[in-house]
Amino acid sequence: MAKQVPCGVRIAGCGSAVPDKRLTNADLAAMVDTSDEWICQRTGIRERRILDPDKGETQLWLATTGLRNALDDAGMAGSDLDLVIHASVTSEMACPSNACRIAAAVDAQPAGAFDIVAACCGFVYAMNVADSLVRTGRYRSIGVVGCDAMTTAVDPTDRSVAILFGDAAGAAILVRDDDLNRGCIHQTLNADGRTWPSLFIPRKPSDLPPDREDSGARMGTLRMDGREVYKFAVGKFREVIEDALTATGLGVDDISQFVCHQSNIRIIESAMDKIGLPPEKVYINIDRFGNSSAGSVGLCLDQLWKAGKINEGETIIMVAFGGGLTWSSSVWKV
């Protein structure tokens, strides 16, 4: 445990993991009543990566691989971590947390470990919490990993959700830095729990809202009111980005990358249009990976990081929204 001296926060490394197995729109069209054209037009997704249970791939494996990758990038070992935070809605067990098992897999004991459930906001929530903890001076280094294996939580015969999701992990290693101005310079964590029936995963029939007719999908699979979530997301994306710019006094020109949750290309493009974000500053990978929930923003961050598109001294904004409903922003001086 570090001395309690306030400090800044540096991203020491990033990592990610996706399974090799691809699920294309053509594969889906062979399973449910849909088409490549419909999916591309309405979502921008062409294919997603999915776990291959025949190869023994699990959500835990994916999250662990993502965090290992970030540790390698930072040139650190698991034993260098004081804490592991894992964000997911598809953790293997309710107890222990996946974070404990991920920490064990990278040999991080006795580092603390806990899970965050904030759906697609999970990675951004976790980065905000981790930054705040390092900033107090109590923790020197925290491993953050957002990971969802959404294909384990969608009914493959339900075309309204099966087309959207893929499996991925994104991770970052945060360490203390002497520069107090470095790290997360503005953050928001928000939720409106009254809206939860728009997006949820029931465990048992009594979890269903009283006025809801069950679609017949099995328990443990995602229920989503796509139109409601779409309306919410279009408004929130714009609001969250504009609020972050106002709060920091920064303009679009001051931001090197807007790292947005990959939910639907139309939702991202609507924010780009309304705020006037240039395409080269808004990374898009939804065409190749779909919506990977808590994995999404971390996966984008790592791909940008490895491509050399996020450099020391630059400012980036991460934004996400998801089940809860939740929404979150995180502005970083890298």
Which chain residues interact with ligand COA by CB under 6 A? Answer: 34, 38, 42-43, 120, 159-160, 163, 199, 224, 226-227, 229-230, 233, 263-264, 291, 322
Cis amide leading into 110 (omega within 30)? yes
* 291 catalytic per annotation: yes
Write phi, then psi, for 224 (nearest 5 degrees): -145, 135
Other C-beta atoms within 10 Å of 68: how many?
19
Q: Is 120 a catalytic residue?
A: yes
CB closer to ligand COA, 160 vs 188: 160
Beta strands in 150-215 (DSSP E): 167-177, 183-191, 199-200
Please say which residue, 92 or 228, places its beta carbon nearer to ligand COA: 228
Q: Using CB atoms, what's the residue nearest to ligand COA?
A: 226
- How far apart CA 149 and CA 166 sit, in angstroms, is 7
- Minimum gap (Å) between residue 107 Cβ and ligand COA: 33
Number of Cβ within a 10 Å radius of residue 37: 10
Phi/psi at 185 (nearest 5 deg)?
Answer: -100, -10
Task: Examine the residue annotation and report whether 285 is marked as an active-site residue of this protein.
Answer: no
Give CA–CA dist 117/327, Å, rounded.
13
CA dist 215 → 34, 35, 95, 236, 264 (Å)? 18, 21, 29, 28, 23
Give me the least distance between CB of 152 and ligand COA, in Å please.
Answer: 16
The one catalytic residue in 86, 260, 291, 300 is 291
Write down the catalytic residue from 7, 14, 100, 120. 120
**Closest approach of Cβ 99 to ligand COA, in Å?**
22
Compare residues 81 and 229 and give the one whose CB is closer to ligand COA: 229
Residue of 100, 128, 261, 264 with catalytic role: 261
Nearer to ligand COA, 91 or 263 (CB): 263
Give min distance, CB of 277 to ligand COA, in A: 19
Please say whether the beta carbons of 150 and 293 come within 8 A. yes
Query: Which residues belong to the active site?
Result: 120, 261, 291
